[in-house]
Amino acid sequence: MRFAFTEDQIALHDAVRDLLNDHSNAAQLREAWGNETGRTASAWGALHAMGAIDAMRAEADGGLGFNEVDAILIAEASGRVALAEPIIETMMVAAPLNLVTIGLSAAVVTHESPFAPWADTAEVIIELAADGIRSRHRQDTTLTPRSSVDGARRLFAVSPNTEVAPASTEVALAFRRGALGTAAQLCGLSETMITVTVAYAKERKQFGVPIGSFQAVKHHLANARTKLEFARPLVYRAAASLRDRDAEAGVHVSMAKAAASDAAMVAAKASLQCHGAIGYTTEADLHLYMKRAWALGGSWGDAAWHRRQITNHLERAPIGER
Amino acid sequence: MRFAFTEDQIALHDAVRDLLNDHSNAAQLREAWGNETGRTASAWGALHAMGAIDAMRAEADGGLGFNEVDAILIAEASGRVALAEPIIETMMVAAPLNLVTIGLSAAVVTHESPFAPWADTAEVIIELAADGIRSRHRQDTTLTPRSSVDGARRLFAVSPNTEVAPASTEVALAFRRGALGTAAQLCGLSETMITVTVAYAKERKQFGVPIGSFQAVKHHLANARTKLEFARPLVYRAAASLRDRDAEAGVHVSMAKAAASDAAMVAAKASLQCHGAIGYTTEADLHLYMKRAWALGGSWGDAAWHRRQITNHLERAPIGER
Amino acid sequence: MDLAFSPAEEAFRAEARAWLQANVPNPPLPSGDTKDGFALHLEWERQLFDARYAVVSWPEEFGGRNASLWEWLIFEEEYWLAGAPQRVTQNGIFLLAPTIFEFGTAEQQQRILAKMASGEEPWCQGWSEPNAGSDLAGISSTATRDDTNGGWRLNGQKTWTTRGAFCTHLFGLFRTDPEAERHNGMTYLLVDLRQSGITVRGVERLDGDEGFAEVFFDDAFVPDVNVLGEVNKGWGVAMATTGSERGLTLRSPGRFLATATKLIELAKSLPDTATPELKDRVTQAWIDAHAYRWQTFATVTKLVEGGHTGPESSMVKVFWSELDVRLHEIALELLGPHAELIDGEFAHWMKGYQFALSGPIYAGTNEIQRNVIAERVLGLPRK
Amino acid sequence: MDLAFSPAEEAFRAEARAWLQANVPNPPLPSGDTKDGFALHLEWERQLFDARYAVVSWPEEFGGRNASLWEWLIFEEEYWLAGAPQRVTQNGIFLLAPTIFEFGTAEQQQRILAKMASGEEPWCQGWSEPNAGSDLAGISSTATRDDTNGGWRLNGQKTWTTRGAFCTHLFGLFRTDPEAERHNGMTYLLVDLRQSGITVRGVERLDGDEGFAEVFFDDAFVPDVNVLGEVNKGWGVAMATTGSERGLTLRSPGRFLATATKLIELAKSLPDTATPELKDRVTQAWIDAHAYRWQTFATVTKLVEGGHTGPESSMVKVFWSELDVRLHEIALELLGPHAELIDGEFAHWMKGYQFALSGPIYAGTNEIQRNVIAERVLGLPRK
């Protein structure tokens, strides 16, 4: 048993984090909200250049042969900056299955996430259906734009695919990777919301003292931090279970997504309340992260949906399972 | 519309409150915990002498002809002192149906409250069954004692009654009166738990100041007080609906019991936490009220059970019902 | 205890319901927190005013009906049940007007009230400043005596002024005695925003609407006739208003009953996602909306019989604001992956959620309200 | 990241499981917080000790197995899964012993540890005083120098001393420098309770057991060999212990996993009352128990690799204590009107609930812990 990342994994994470701080900071994210595609100017290219986008592709296919544990810290780092790029869809869903050309992006729809983010700039639209994975080039689909509360997250309804699905056993794995990557992003978002709120609470004064010295503010943020502390290990464990093709990996992913979604909702609410009125404007950066958290909390199965999968599992499972 | 009690009703409440402070204070309640019957030495007699026990009996039958609104403040006052007497069972269930001799006590079992409190000192055991009301003299039953966490609340399982139930339309009314009286008691208990905790928090010092000056303690108690503030009106409204034989009275009683049970659980938890270790001993009075709250919260249908009745109602009801 | 409304009250309800059914805009108006939407809302407010439904509880001379508190509550229930628009005049008619009725001169009442209610002169609230939010007594905007012109010169800044970019007038507190400390030396002033010396900058709210404003004062002028109450006694005057804000008038129970009803409809329309655990939470929220209604009825009975409300209003503010958040949270959970959409048939839930999130923050954060409950309702020590 | 235990660890698990299955008392022992129950528990502790399962992580010379942290965690999982009794020696072996290993002399270790682990000399904790609960630095019990006898004379009172009425020894803080303020001038002393000068009065706990005690000192004697660490440096020594209390050692994840498993069994056994909304909460609690397990695994990995734990342990304490309450609350809701019974097949849930309620209070209330999280994990200002 060793429940920690390797030095290499951490070094890679740090490199991705530094890259994203350069290419996807709050100002750059605001630009993405306002531009045509909703995507950042340079983050995708930079991530591609360092090999992150295609990291989970086999080395023979031009990737780095990363497994889910290798990739999960990249996903978390992308969440920390609310990266406005289809990284989970591409890095964790499409690329390891070789469904997209190296360097290009994919869009994904599932029953639990029927609108595909950034589909208009994707090479392929992938549908994770009950009976298998269907993949089409964007040009072969009709995209209908929908508006997300997250202004950078350009959503599209996709015209139905009437093709007979290719038989595939990978659909469960692909869905789990997508849900897991989203859970990791939610952990990153929680961390950022707490960080920006702590900074604000140390600086903002009322009644002659920083508002962060009030016990009510402290306890809001302590609760959020504690929720995150106990969500993150479930995400890392699910990553390892997926890597190991554990028979229970689906349950572990559901635990991770449920916990990460809940933690992000708690962090969002605590952060907004501690910001007070300034957090209620778009002038504070908080809303950039909070709205992404709202969107991702309900994507790839919300917390209640994942808990239901676990409940169903527990009704079948022998007692004592862990 | 006048949503308030009359001066007469308030005067009667005050008289009952004063009487109970004399006959059912914490010391007297502790005696009841230790004695053979679990009942107080003098409260029942005193309540009988002032006419409270049989208040809901028709005047022609020797009562005061009280309706549910007249009686509800008596029930609440009895909860405030955690009265160790079967007052709800007798005053609100048995007496108005003339099922018990004036001055004597009744015990009641229902599907949702299968153990009858203080049955061994009751004249009659009443069963509220789906098909009607069955009533037997205590001597015609076999009582098996069960132990409640509330040491004064002597519970008994009652041998099955195989008689054919008399057809009765009163069973729903009787159950609602019992649930409503219990809801009122829970409001009284919430009030007392908050009161004793506020007193302790003003007196107990840590770090050189009263613990009640800490924002965390303040907010625990503010939450409890707010829950009570919004539970009590539902109890009073349900009393009036029952009095008026409103077609929706059953729903209103369920709203009252659900809200009062939840409020009492919040008050109990906040009170214990604010007391700290002293509340975790039986030397503080808090436990007398808290344990009664736990017991009554689960009796006559717990909060979840009552919410389910309302959910079922809402699924049938036309939209716009209020 | 009498739960029935009188025949006259029921007749008033029927009349209001009929008028609203005939007149409520359909499809609903766009948000009143944008420039164009605000203008459309003012047209609606004018229509209400002309039918004498804008301010039913006011005296007839100012456009009201002398309606009782009960009738006012009935009207509010019908108003929200009919799906009628948010009141963009609300900060004037619900927050400022009660203060003018209590502290204003006859001249002020004549000059201000009817135009406020008709929407001709919409009012915004100038309370908060960049360094004075929860700590309202920390304001630093000044009003300096201008004897030459018989009035006051304003300097400083207000912020988070709801709909400030669209209103013609502002009411607020300004420091008139620079020597006085904290709660003293403030004066309640009524400011015409349509003058040089005032700059209004719209601030984008969470939901993207320009619903907030920063208001900058640079020697703006307020004549003496626009002092409300006594000079240097503004804090006491303002507290009467914040009492209104937290009390009966801002968030009538009808509003949450209407939302709860819509939530039940939503759950019924989504049988696949309305799981028993979500339906249980819908029911809980529905119970809470009714609890708020009956708690209000108890308060109104007390007021009608000559009683007063006190710090209990802080419990009311905590309750409705957190109920409003819960109602919308449950709706968003019902909507699952559709919750994030701000177009289409469900968009109003996300919009409403964002609006609801302001409830625990404005009009005194719920943290401050809980302090008030603990200290002034329960008697716990301040320090 | 390697989620598998080694073959040796799995072998240890199998061995422990087999031994526990063969030896765990069945039916379960009565509560260890009564005089008779305590004695029966000491027999069990002796049996554990003889099989070298009492303190698996200790060196062999004191009765342990030199087990790794992983093996210790494995043993704890098996221990609770087997339904084995609460450890009545826990305050000694989990709170005092780590301090003795760190600060104790070789003589103290030889004299004290094995007898503590075997249950021959059960230890209780003398931290709290009537006026020093959350505010531990506010203690006023004194230890005065007795040069004649080469030791210290104790006066004052300790309270809420868990199982104090049944233990032979007490460890705690006493003021040795009356001039020093608050955190200074305290000494960590090891006290033999079996002497004149000490009066122990049992205090009834919430659940009716005599699980607490007040301990009165009236010139009781402690020889110099029973000073732990340096004189007047007791606060630092004690803080090492409270670190243990909040950290890994007191509440192993196995305990909550076992409760969560029992809760699932309970829900399955009560199909009529296990509504979907309650089952959803059961699932949530089960997720939380696993979250605690994996968070612990992350901490253990860090410790094994030479790292340290810091104020993060306050998050752990908040999490397990509130999880324990939730687990029992859900069980009581499943039991409905049977929840209040303290006899019969379900009685252990109400008993367990009452025990769980102490979790957010003792070892530093969760309010204090949240302050620590805010100030020392997040860096918010103290004042």
- CA nearest A305 in D: which residue? D280
Q: Would you give the DSSP letter of residue A278?
A: G
Enclosing domain of residue A183: 171-321
Give the Å distances, CA to CA, from A22 to A26, A77, A185, B129, C172: 10, 13, 18, 72, 44
Instruction: For chain D, report the end-to-end CA distance as a whole number of angstroms.
Output: 41
pLDDT tens digits along A279-310: 999 999 999 999 999 999 999 999 999 999 99
In chain C, what residues touch A205 (CB-CB under 8 Å)? 131
Neighbouring residues of C72: CB distance < 8 A, sequence distance ≥ 6: C56, C57
How many domains does chain A contain in total? 1
Q: Known catalytic residue: C245? A: yes
Yes or no, beta carbons of D367 and B281 under 8 Å apart: no
pLDDT of residue B319: 54
pLDDT of residue D366: 97
**Closest chain C CA to residue A215:** C367
Identify from B30, B33, B108, B206 which residue to disrupt to test chain D contact, counting D C-beta atoms within 10 A and taking the largest count: B206
In a domain, A289, yes or no: yes
**D206 in Cβ contact with B282 (< 8 Å):** yes
Share of chain D above pLDDT 70, in %: 97
Contacts 24+ apart (CB under 8 A), D346-352: D347/B147, D349/D266, D350/B149, D351/D31, D351/D207, D352/D259, D352/D328
User: Which residues of chain A lie closer than 8 angstroms to B211, CB-CB?
Assistant: none
CB atoms within 10 A of CB C137: 14
Query: Is D342:D349 a contact under the CB 8 Å cutoff?
Result: no
In the beta sheet, which residues pair with residue C169?
A: C123, C192
Is position B211 within any domain? yes
For position C307, what pLDDT does the model report? 87
Domains of chain C: 123-240 (2.40.110.10), 254-377 (1.20.140.10)
DSSP string, A58-108: -GGGTS----HHHHHHHHHHHHHTT--S-HIIIIIIIGGGT-S-TT--EEE
Q: Which pLDDT band, with edges at 50, 70 and 90, does D155 fall under?
A: very high
Distance in angstroms (rounded) separating the CA atoms of residues D132 and D140: 8
Q: β-strands D123-126, D169-175: how paired?
A: parallel
Q: How far is D277 from chain C (nearest CA, A)?
A: 4
Name the token pair of B205.
Answer: 């010092």
Residues D103-124 have pLDDT tens digits of 999 999 999 999 999 999 999 9
Q: Which of residues 217-276 of A touch B (CB under 8 A)?
A: 219
pLDDT of residue D251: 76
Rounded Cα distance, A319 and B307, in Å: 30
Chain D nearest-CA residue for A6: D1
Q: Is C21 on the interface with D (CB under 8 A)?
A: no
Q: pTM for this structure?
A: 0.96
Place of tokens 């968070």: D295
Look at residue A103 and tell me if it is in a domain. Answer: no
- Give yes or no for residue C247 having a pLDDT over 60: no
Please tell me the distance from the alpha carbon of residue A45 to that of residue A107, in angstroms, as a whole number: 17
Q: How far apart are alpha carbons B107 and C168 in whole angstroms?
A: 69
Instruction: Please give the structure tokens belonging to residue D217.
Output: 């000192």
CB C367 within 8 A of CB C134: yes
Q: What is the pLDDT of residue D167?
A: 96
Q: What band does A130 get if pLDDT is binned at 50, 70 and 90? A: confident
Choose, from D71, D129, D214, D245, the residue flagged as catalytic: D245
DSSP C5: P
Residues of B in contact with D131 (CB under 8 A): 205
Which of the following is catalytic: C71, C76, C121, C245?
C245
- Give residue D191's pLDDT: 98
Tell me which residue of C349, C323, C324 sits closest to C336, measured CA to CA. Answer: C349
The answer as to whether A58 is a domain residue is no
Contacts C278 to A, Cβ<8 Å: 304
CA dihedral C265, C270, C276, C280 (to 10 degrees): -30
Q: Distance between CA A113 and CA C142 in Å, rounded?
A: 54
The backbone region for D68, taken as left when phi is positive above 0, alpha when psi lies in -120 to 50, beta otherwise, is beta
Q: Per the domain annotation, does B130 fall within a domain? A: no
Say if B302 is an interface residue toward chain D (CB within 8 Å). Answer: yes
Nearest neighbour of B206 by CB, restricted to D135, D336, D362: D135
User: Over pLDDT 90: what percentage of chain D?
Assistant: 86
Q: Do C134 and A276 touch (CB under 8 A)?
A: yes
Expressed in angstroms, the distance from the first to the final Cα of chain B is: 15
- Nearest-Cα distance to chain B for C133, in Å, is 19
Residue A182 lies in a domain: yes
A81-85, A130-134, C294-298, D228-232, range with the lowest pLDDT: A130-134
Instruction: Give CA A45 to chain center in angstroms.
Output: 19
Does C245 have pLDDT greater than 80?
no
Residue A310 belongs to domain with CATH number: 1.20.140.10
Length of chain A (residues): 322
Quick one: residue D9, left, alpha or beta (phi over 0 = left, psi -120 to 50 = alpha)? Answer: alpha
Report the chain C residue with the minimal C-alpha distance to residue D277: C277
Nearest residue in chain A measured CA to CA from D6: A1
- pLDDT of A321 over the 70 cut: no
DSSP helix/strand/coil, C207: coil
Q: Which residues of A touch C159 (CB under 8 A)?
A: 277
In a domain, B149, yes or no: no
Quick check: C361 and A276 CB within 8 A? yes
Pairing type for strands B124-129 and B106-110 reads parallel
Give all strands of the β-sheet with A106-110 in edge-to-edge order.
A106-110, A124-129, A132-137
Question: For residue B269, which residues of chain D lie inside 8 Å, CB to CB?
Answer: 357
* Distance from the A227 Cα atom to the nearest Cα atom in chain D, whole angstroms: 9
Residues D346, B114: Cα–Cα separation, whole Å:
15
pLDDT of residue D339: 97
Summarised one tens digit per residue, pLDDT across range B42-97 is 999 999 999 999 999 999 999 999 999 999 999 999 999 999 999 999 999 999 99
Q: Residue C12 has what pLDDT?
A: 98
Backbone angles phi, psi at D34, to 5 degrees: -120, 160
Alpha helices in chain D (DSSP H): 7-23, 35-50, 69-81, 90, 97-103, 106-118, 234-246, 253-269, 276-304, 313-335, 347-357, 366-372
Q: Which residues of chain B have pLDDT under 70?
A: 164-169, 318-322
CA distance B219 to chain A (A): 8
D123: helix, strand or coil? strand
Whether the CB of D277 is below 8 Å from some CB of chain C: the reply is yes
Domain membership of residue A198 (yes or no) is yes
pLDDT surpassing 50 at residue D355: yes
